[in-house]
Amino acid sequence: MNFKSVTSFVLSSVMVLGFTQCSQQAAAPQQQAPIAVSGLKIAFIDVDSLLANYAFYQDLAEEMTRKEENYRLALTEENNKLQKEYADHQNKIKNSVYSSVERAQSEENRLQKKNQALIEKSEKYSQELMAESNANSQKISETVDNYVKEYNKTHGYDLIVTKASLLFANEALNITAQILDGLNAAYNNQSDK
């Protein structure tokens, strides 16, 4: 489970913002004069740097790590207990402790059911973590997307893209620090409430 998959969500949402704004302008070409490429106001965001320093992302990632560790610990403890029960069962068979073959088979069936339940619990935990990771990715994506839209209302960019989609860009077009500062300030204000 890699929580950093959120990068692709943020990447696509930020790109969609820029392309949506451009496509909205291009949707009615008869109503507007074409914009010269040299007149476009363009900026980019380094998503990797943004996420590495965004407090909300870091808090969600830390929470997911704790949850994963807790699940892993719980499963490991249950697995160790089950392995001990299997070893005891094998010793009982070896030492002919069971009163009958049926009793030994009954214990074997019980242990197999416990093993199956443990497998199902592990799958359930994985599904829960995946669902939470996806929800967190969506939260991050929406938060960044909404902030970039608000930021752009006062800065008037025609196109905001991610650095990952660029082969070259002048660093003067990099607005990552401004976006990061704004996101962290908004998150800290929200956390203080």
pLDDT above 90: percentage of residues in the chain? 74
Give the residue, 1 or 53, on which the prediction is more confident: 53
Alpha helix segments (H runs only) across the chain: 6-26, 47-53, 55-94, 101-155, 176-192
pLDDT confidence tier of residue 30, bands split at 50, 70 and 90: very low
**Which residues lie closer than 8 Å to 118 by C-beta, 6 or more apart?**
75, 78, 79, 82
**54 and 136 Cβ atoms separated by less than 8 Å:** no
| pLDDT digits 0-9 by tens, 32-79 | 444 445 788 999 999 999 999 999 999 999 999 999 999 999 999 999
Q: At what angle do helices 101-155 and 6-26 cross, to 10 degrees?
A: 40
How far apart are the C-alpha atoms of 28 and 121, rounded to whole Å? 55
Domains in the chain, start-ordered, CATH in brackets? 3-192 (3.30.910.20)
Per-residue pLDDT, averaged over 168-179, amounts to 94
Q: pLDDT averaged over the chain?
A: 85
Question: 0.75 exceeded by the pTM?
Answer: no
Residue 89 vs residue 31, higher pLDDT = 89
Spatial CB neighbours of 163, under 8 Å, sequence gap ≥ 6: 44, 45, 46, 47, 48, 169, 174, 176
Query: Residue 55: helix, strand or coil by DSSP?
Result: helix
Please give the pLDDT value at position 37. 56
Neighbours of 109 (CB within 10 A): 10
Give the CA-trace dihedral at 125, 130, 135, 140, to 10 degrees. Answer: 120
